Amino acid sequence: MTRPGLSFSHMGFFVHDIKRMEDFYARVLEFTVTDRGPLAGPNGTMNLVFLSRDPDEHHQVVLISGRPESLPFNPINQISFKADSLATLKAMHRRLQEAGSRDIIPVTHGNAVSVYALDPEGNRIELYIDTPWYVEQPMRVPVDLTLDEATLMATVEAHARTLPGFRPRDVWRAEMARRMGIG
């Protein structure tokens, strides 16, 4: 059940080195290039690369040339991707390490287990799974992804139970559905 009218679909962002960024998103994060090509823009021709991990979605990420080589501030706080399992999250954590990604930080937010890292142009990416619990946000503490899955989740749950607002995710979800007028 979702709020009718709009749903999030995809995002595009400007990049400096489109080949390097395509390699990272395709090789490390396992996106597939679905299309590519030039497009006239207000400041000249831009090159676009469309990427997806879902055959029902033409693109989930669009890389667009034209980002200046140096910016005083990166306006992208994070780009988040939901993993289908803790095993996938742990495997992607290893892939990021093997790829030499920078600033790899595994954490729990109580309601999620996440891995943060920087892509080749310094955009922060988040790979995550939801936990079965809700806790008030913001909250973040480091976790050890080398632990076996059962031990890791027991550790995450034990910590979450000590935090304000702890409750099962389905209880929190029902509250949000009511607040959004869809429950």
Give the start-to-end residue ranges of the domains of the chain: 9-67, 77-183
- The per-type count for the chain, helices as H runs and strands as E runs, is 4, 11
| CATH number corresponding to 9-67 | 3.10.180.10
Radius of gyration of the chain (CA): 19
Top-level CATH class of 77-183? alpha beta
pTM above 0.75, yes or no: yes
Q: What backbone phi and psi angles, to 5 degrees, belong to 87?
A: -60, -45
- Whether 122 and 78 have beta carbons less than 8 Å apart is answered as no
Question: What separation in angstroms does the CA of 5 have from each of 2, 8, 182?
Answer: 9, 11, 12
- Contacts of 120 by beta carbon, 8 Å cutoff, 6+ apart: 17, 20, 21, 24
Supply the mean pLDDT for the chain: 93
Can you tell me the mean pLDDT for 44-57?
A: 94
Is the pLDDT at 73 greater than 70? The verdict is yes
Can you state the angle between helices 86-98 and 149-160, rounded to 10 degrees? 110
Q: What percent of the chain has pLDDT over 70?
A: 98
- Whether 15 and 67 have beta carbons less than 8 Å apart is answered as yes
Report d(CA 129, CA 108) in Å as an integer.
10
pLDDT for 42 equals: 84
162-179: per-residue pLDDT in tens?
999 999 999 999 999 998
79-116: per-residue pLDDT in tens?
999 999 999 999 999 999 999 999 999 999 999 999 99
Is the pLDDT at 74 greater than 70? The verdict is yes
